[in-house]
Every structure is written in structure tokens, then in C-alpha cells.
Amino acid sequence: NADAAMYRAKDGGRNNYQFYAREMNASGEENLILLDGLRQSLEATLAGAPGGGLSLCYQPKVDLKTGRVFGVEALLRWHHPEHGPVSPQRFIGLAEESGMIVELGEWALRTACRQNQAWRAAGLPPITVSVNVSPRQFEERKLVARVAAALRDSGLPPDALELEVTESLIMRDLAQSVAKMRDLEAMGVSLSIDDFGTGYSSLSALKSFPISRLKIDKSFVSELAANPDDQAIAMAVISLGHKLHLRVIAEGVETEEQCAFLRANDCDEMQGYLFSRPVPPARIAELLATAQQFVPAEVAA
Ligand code: C2E
Ligand code: MG
Ligand code: MG
Ligand code: MG
């Protein structure tokens, strides 16, 4: 489709998602309607309309040694005016395909930076905020400049921001990706590999990534208590991460058994329903204000 290709070539042009939408005939009218709703919500949210429909929830990340919340991950939420909440799996996939993710992601980045700076300004214990970056956003020429602008405009120190990227994203164009990651690192922003173990990256490539953290994918965590294969994978990722001087965090931790296994095997951090679901920003403020710590059942008992 020539139009779509032309607009794709106009790297980073604003409001170009209408054109990308033409590529999507195969995925059906329903998706186009949903995408249109998303565009309307994004415009309303950007215009500052109350109840624009888009928001960020934040999920605490807990240090397994100290029990402290050291950071949060920002996760997009979309409340459709008629259909109610739409799962991120669904709308982020559509936004990625259509190119709308560039603007959506920039809104998320700017909002998360502003929110974290607001918590700091309110005197809460300083934490980091992690923002997910999708392939299309990462490939965008202006990504580094956008991150710099989000930091400058919010006043958030760069070391209070982390970006979560996936292996498959990095491997699309390894040399380019590493160059971009180095620019971000030079700015003081840290990077983590999300869903680690589900993508493909060679160990020699991994060695060259300027990252500070590996996130063990939740698919390896869900059966961790009973499945020896998942246990082997988790232990291997933890030891690989540590040998490369990286922190290792497990995502999707729901049970005490999973948590106990991770602690016993020297995993550094965890994130999951066991401690907290993703929550609206006011709940994070509360949680930090009361200095809530994670006390595992083994210790509490
Ligand atoms: P992710 O970055 O791997 O985020 C972790 C997902 O696991 C989140 O799903 C979170 O709500 C969920 N989760 C956390 N703890 C648990 C648990 O204990 N058990 C289970 N079963 N799930 C848990 P969510 O919020 O639906 O987001 C799904 C994906 O959408 C994210 O996966 C991320 O790839 C993407 N996403 C979310 N927000 C953004 C965003 O602002 N930008 C981009 N580009 N992608 C985003
Ligand atoms: Mg993530
Ligand atoms: Mg993840
Ligand atoms: Mg995931």
C-alpha cells in the first residue's frame, strides 16, 4: 500500500495513524472502530479533558533483601466511553500496528515523569519509575530527544527513570539499538530487558547491552513452585544476570511459594499481585507515605 509506505517513510510525523490504519483491513472493522475510539480518548486526554479515558496505573517493585518499594512500573489503562476498560494487550497491539503508539507512549512517558517528580516534590521517599517502550517507539528517530524533553519538562532526575525494552525490539537492528541505548545511558536513564527469556537474543549481544536489570518473564514464574523446568530457567537467569553485574527482578509473583523460591535463589527484586496489583497514583503515594514494606510470610510467622 503506497500511501501507508509513504507515511511510514515520514518517520515520526504526527497524526499519521489514520494512514497506517489502512494497512489494517485484514484485522477487521472492529479494530478500526476501537482504534478510532482510542484516538478520540488520546486527543481528549492530551487536551486535558476530564475523564479523557487514558490513565496510568503504577505497580510497586519490591527489593527482596530489604522489603522496600524502590520503584514502580507505569502501565497504561484505557477506559472506553461505552465499552469500559479495554485490555492493554488489545489496545497496545492496535496502537503499535497503527503507529499511534508513538503519541500514546509519549503521553505515558511524560505523565510518568511528571507523576514521579510530583511524588518527590511531596516529600515521599524517592523511587524510580519504569516506562514500557514498544518497538515502534524505540525505532523512532526522535526517541532520545523525546526522553530528554520529558525529563527536562518534568524536572525529574534522569536516574529516577527507567525504560523497559524487550529483546526482540533490540534484536531488530542490534547496532542501532545499542547506539540508542548508549545515548540513553549517557543521559543517566537506566534500561531493563522486559519479558526476559521469551525473546531471542544471543549471549554475546546481551553482553553489549548497556542495561542494569533483567526482568524474568511471568510465564516462568507462574508455575515456579511446582515446575522444575521453570525453576531451572529462573535460577539460570538469576545467575546469568549476576555474572553480568545486572539486577534481576521477577514479574508476576503471586504466591508466597514463588516468592520464597526467588529469595532462596538470590533474586534481587520482585513485582506482582502478591505485594500489589497496579494501582492509581494516589495509592502509591499512600503506600510510600506509610513506609509500607513487604514482609514475607516466612519472616512474619
Ligand atoms: P509488561 O510490561 O510485561 O507488564 C507486566 C504485565 O503483567 C502487566 O499487564 C501487569 O498488570 C501484569 N501483572 C503484574 N503482576 C502480575 C501478577 O502477579 N500476575 C499476573 N497474571 N499479571 C501481573 P498489563 O498492565 O495488562 O500490561 C500488559 C502489557 O502491555 C505490558 O506487559 C506491556 O508490554 C504493555 N504496556 C502496558 N503499558 C504500556 C505503555 O505505557 N507503553 C507500552 N509501549 N506498552 C505498555
Ligand atoms: Mg514492563
Ligand atoms: Mg514484563
Ligand atoms: Mg510481559
Report residue 60 as a C-alpha cell.
Answer: 510497586
For ligand 1, atom 43, the nearest C-alpha belongs to 132
Q: Which atom of ligand 1 is nearest to the CA of 57?
A: 25
Question: How high is the pLDDT of residue 81?
Answer: 85
Report residue 85 as a C-alpha cell.
Answer: 476498560
pTM assigned to the model: 0.91
- For cell 484516538, name the residue: 39
Q: Which atom of ligand 1 is nearest to the CA of 215?
A: 3
Do the beta carbons of residue 158 and residue 189 sit within 8 Å? Answer: yes
Question: How high is the pLDDT of residue 242?
Answer: 97
Short-list 138, 155, 149, 40, CA closest to 91: 40
Q: Block means of pLDDT (10 residues each) for the chain, length 301 residues? A: 36 42 58 91 89 93 95 96 91 93 97 98 97 94 96 98 93 90 97 90 84 96 95 96 96 97 97 97 93 77 61
DSSP string, 214-242: EEE-HHHHTTTTT-HHHHHHHHHHHHHHH
136 lines ligand 1 (CB under 6 A): no
Query: Could you tell me the distance, in angstroms and rounded to a whole number, from the CA of residue 10 to the centre of ligand 3?
Result: 30
Q: Which atom of ligand 1 is nearest to the CA of 253?
A: 18
Question: How high is the pLDDT of residue 204?
Answer: 79
What mean pLDDT, rounded, does the chain reach?
Answer: 89
Computed from CA positions of residues 186, 183, 131, 207, in that sequence, does the dihedral angle turn out positive or negative? Answer: negative
- 204: burial class by Cβ within 10 Å (0-12, 13-18, 19+)? exposed
Query: Could you tell me the distance, in angstroms and rounded to a whole number, from the CA of residue 301 to the centre of ligand 3?
Result: 31
Query: Could you tell me the distance, in angstroms and rounded to a whole number, from the CA of residue 3 to the centre of ligand 1?
Result: 33
- The 3-state DSSP class for residue 158 equals helix
Q: Which residues surround ligand 4, an ion (CB under 5 A)?
A: 195
For ligand 1, atom 46, the nearest C-alpha belongs to 132
- The 3-state DSSP class for residue 41 equals helix
272 lines ligand 1 (CB under 6 A): yes
85-122: per-residue pLDDT in tens?
999 999 999 999 999 999 999 999 999 999 999 999 99
Give residue 277's identity as a one-letter amino acid code: R
Short-list 112, 99, 113, CA closest to 38: 99
229-243: per-residue pLDDT in tens?
999 999 999 999 999
88 lines ligand 1 (CB under 6 A): yes
- Element containing residue 80 per DSSP (H, E): strand 69-80
Helices and strands of the chain, counted as H and E runs: 15, 9
96 lines ligand 1 (CB under 6 A): no
For ligand 1, atom 15, the nearest C-alpha belongs to 272
105 lines ligand 1 (CB under 6 A): yes
Distance CA 104, CA 75 (A): 12
Distance CA 108, CA 114 (A): 10
211-261: per-residue pLDDT in tens?
999 999 999 999 999 999 999 999 999 999 999 999 999 999 999 999 999
Report residue 32 as a C-alpha cell.
Answer: 478500526
Question: How high is the pLDDT of residue 4?
Answer: 38
217 lines ligand 1 (CB under 6 A): no
76 lines ligand 1 (CB under 6 A): yes
Best residue among 213, 251, 257, 258 to mutate for probing ligand 1, ranked by most atoms within 8 Å of CB: 251
Short-list 52, 72, 50, 53, CA closest to 61: 72
Short-list 266, 282, 253, 271, CA closest to 72: 271
- For cell 496489583, name the residue: 277
For ligand 1, atom 45, the nearest C-alpha belongs to 132
